Amino acid sequence: MPGYVELHCHSNFSLLDGASHPEDLVARAVELGMPALAITDHDGLYGVVRFYKSAQKAGIKPIVGAEVTLEGGHHLTLLARDNGGYSNLCRLITRAQLRHSKGNPALDWSSLTTYRDGLVCLSGCRKGKISTLLAAGKRDVALAAARKCHEIFGDSFFIELQNNLYPGDGRLCRQLVELAESLGIKCVVTNNVHYARKEGHRLQDVLTCIRNRTTLEKSSHLRRMNREFYLKSTAEMAELWSEYPQALENSLLIASMCDVSLGFSSYRFPDFPVPDGETADSYLSKLSWQRAKKRYGEILPEEVQSQLRYELELVRELGLSGYFLIVWDLMQYCRRNGIPAQGRGSAANSILAYILGITKVDPIRHKLFVGRFINEEMSSLPDIDIDVSTNHREQVIQYVYRKYGEEHTGMVCTFVTFQARNAIREVGKVLGMPPHILDRMAKAVGSYGAEDIDKDLAGLGEFRPCVTSESWQHLLSLCREIADFPRHLSIHVGGMIISSRPLSDMVPLERATMPGRVVCQWDKDSVEDAGLVKVDILGLRMLSLIHDVVVLVEKSRGIGVDL
């Protein structure tokens, strides 16, 4: 029996379409004995770090890809062969997202030509251009489209075959194979996976209805015809593709071609401008000893000297000197411009942060333990939260963009996920349940979080007589399944990435809902796991209020208040 690897697979980061977490897809691939798995979410790499970590932990090869949308609405499947191909994939997705309105990404053919290196291209699902043209009886035009892709990607272009037991699938596959043979192009089979197991089709139907704002009863024309879009075993695929065993084997060939590493720690800071002859380490050290005397006097207490030496050495070992200089420079900008700003959280335990004016609490005087903020054995890099006057936050963000360049700076995203309340409202609406009942149910649940959704649902027994038994069971089951699914993208409350390498080389960028804002497709956890460090610039209304009071006091009383 030939082997098989799934190369066209959607997780729930194909928002409101894929019906399985990346980790569940990886776990199922391991059960089926697959040596590798690809994730190809729609026009994005939102969940790729989670997928990558999970696959590595499970001992299978992660293949990074995306199903991109071309101008005209056709789909194309792209897989990264190497790190250069991964960067090109990020650039292509960024172009598709930023050159069009939010929510309507589209990629032009010239961009594919420019950023083709290091990529494997599959011709796409039944929404692919070649399949669409063949289905419409336009073989000559389909032939020209296939020839064009072959010219761009060479031997890294494959005709993608899918048979989800739809009417006409067998005929379309035969036409695709004939076309491929006439051009000397290899074929590969995929299953356009949208859920890990067959029973996942129920949730996928619900997600489709939520996306289209309709009910199950009215959505037959929008939902998939059957439940064949699950992660199938090699035996199932071998039986389905017995006429084309080589196309099945080619999935292993492509898997062997792909090898990507998602580690960007060497690019996590831009080169902070330091005086000639200095490095980030030496300049931070010199700056710290100079400013220590302003804090503690010309003769530094032995405890201060010891703690400062320890922290400087620790920061040097962890490669964080550039990070401290960036935050210090940010605070200097705020002071020069009269902007209330202050570091908070565990950073207040650091004498280095205190000396640099990032925090205002003396950790020596208050006997604070720096290990809460930074230590030799920490599994994740520290970050410093900076509270800024809400009225001045945009000014500070614009300074960061000017200082390091828009290519190297971006906002971190966050994902709005389904919790008990919105799951009840949205799933219940899809099931056609009465709105007034759903409203009462949603208001009755607590706020335990997705991991404790059973606690929320357990308290809904009083509403059971209000709906049919079947609807009740469906509601509870689907709410559990959809818990913690990403619903849509938002901007993190304050996180910014500043990197030495253009961000779009490492993570795709897209438009945020806020006009003029660009956000990266990773949340704070993925940013951290990829080895990048974010700076949190958090708007605090109380700082705005205090600033206004200080101004009013000076204006009305002639008194300059030193906070």
Spell out the SS3 assignment of 320-371: CHHHHHHHHHHHHHHHHCCCCEEEEHHHHHCHHHHHCCCCCCCCCCCCCCHH
| pTM, 2 dp | 0.90
Give backbone dihedrals phi and psi of 122, rounded to 5 degrees, phi first.
-105, 145
Strands 75-80 and 61-69: antiparallel
Would you state the pLDDT for residue 451?
Answer: 57
pLDDT the model gives residue 254: 98
pLDDT of residue 559: 92
pLDDT of residue 1: 56
Task: Tell me what pLDDT residue 450 has.
Answer: 52
Q: Quick one: pLDDT at residue 75? A: 97
At residue 556, the pLDDT reads: 95
For CA atoms 202, 205, 211, 212, the dihedral sign is: negative
pLDDT value at position 513? 80
Which residues of the chain, if any, have pLDDT below 50? none
Cα gap 287→442, rounded to integer Å: 55
Closest CA to 352 of 298, 387, 383, 312: 312
Q: What distance in Å separates the CA atoms of residue 176 and residue 250, rounded to the nearest whole number?
A: 15
